[in-house]
Amino acid sequence: SAPVGTLIVGLEDASLVDTTSTVDRFEPNYLDGTAKDGANHFTDCTANRGGGIDNEKNAASVTMHEVHFTRCAARTNGGGALYTQAKTLSITGTANTFTDCTGQGNGGAVYQYRNADGSVVTLKNCAFSGCQANGSGSGGGMYANARTLYIDSDAANQNDGNTSFTNCTANGNGGGLFHDYGGTAAIYNCAFTNCEAKAGNGGGLYTTAVTLTISGKKSVFSGCTALLDGGGVFQSSDANGSAFTFRDGSFVNCSAEGNSGGAIITKAKTVTLASCTVSRSTAKAQGGGVWINPSTASFEGCTITVNSVTNSDSKGGGVYVGGGTTEYKSGTVSGCTAANGGGWYQNNGSLYILGGSISGSATTNGGGLYLWDGNAKVYHYGGAVNGSAAASGGAVYINNGAYTVGNGQYNNVDYTGACVGAVTGGVYSATAGGTAAAFTRMPVRSL
């Protein structure tokens, strides 16, 4: 018989129940419960590191199917359920659960440590629930160091899995999931619910991935919060070639309590939001729904509604754009509020409004849209901009910059007077008559 707390490798049906390990080094590299009932169970296991499994060897790969960890804990380090230095970690099958696991460091449930070139983590049908990264740890459910992360996806396909992070917390970054040293992260139909970064960024997900793609209608971030930035998602990479894509999913009731990006903050150079929903999310300073600072960005078919920023100089209730060139092709920004730029705040760069609608309300200026910098330019060729402001610019407030209208629509714009000036109900230019604040009138429709 094996000592208490020792994992016997090679069994189809392996279980550890109510164990306290005196040996902190388990070294499996294949664990499969599919032959019976998915009964690789680890319950109430504890260790200094890797409460259920500690795989300290630099193995080529660790593969697990149908594994279930319940109330496992790492007393002094990370990985309440699993700590591994494997180059490739794969946890797949029809059902894998990590429930109420805790780590006193990174990875409340899983800590994948190795970040070598070619390292890959693949998750499919994994449910992380009630897991915590305590101490100064990040990744309440999982901390992954691999260069590539696949969740219910792979290099070639989107797989209809059912991975989720629910009620997971981290004292650092990434309440649900922290992904570091990332080249690529591809996430499909993964739900993050009520996850929290208690002292950091990324309530649901924090990633350094150069390329981050989140897609699928079941990719829902709900009720996630961060003390600092990115209530739902925080992507830190601004490297050349960095990209963020969010397609078909939704953010709802997320919050960045200390700063910006109530639902999303990404520093990627290329940003794409398509057929998505961002609603009822809040931030303190900038971007109640979305905060981006791209080279190029595209919004198409998204509903961004009832988001807000709350401090007295807040900017961009729905969307905050730091610079670059953005195409707003279609969709709706509505019911969003801020001190300045209730719907949209354009700090710098060029915004092409080609369709859809942008509206909101401002407690100070620019209910629909606010232009800040002298290099901020808007080309309004389709769609509608409207809103209300307590001070000036119900639809548009031009602090500086240039606004060109062609074939666009406004509500309550008086074109009988000067196109640049105190047209408080519609378009207001703070530097009326100044060349840096030129408002160019082109033929418009349905005024």
**pLDDT, tens only, 28-68:** 444 544 434 445 888 899 999 999 998 876 777 888 888 99
Residue 357 has a pLDDT of 92
pLDDT band at 385 (very low <50, low <70, confident <90, very high): confident
State residue 403's pLDDT score: 79
**Residue 221 pLDDT:** 98
End-to-end alpha carbon distance in the chain: 85
Cα-trace Rg, the chain:
24
pLDDT at site 39: 58
* Amino acid in position 167: N
CA distances from 85 to 27, 54, 138, 217 (A): 10, 9, 17, 33
What pLDDT digit, counting tens, does each position of 263-300 carry? 999 999 999 999 999 999 999 999 999 999 999 999 99
Q: What is the pLDDT of residue 14?
A: 38
pLDDT value for 7: 40
What was the pLDDT predicted at 101?
A: 98
- Other CB atoms closer than 10 Å to residue 352's CB: what's the count? 17
* H/E element, 215: strand 211-215
Share of the chain above pLDDT 70, in %: 82
Q: What percent of the chain has pLDDT over 90?
A: 64
User: What tokens does 352 get?
Assistant: 């092409």
**What residues contact 193, with CB distance under 8 A and at least 6 apart?**
164, 165, 166, 167, 220, 221, 222, 223, 224
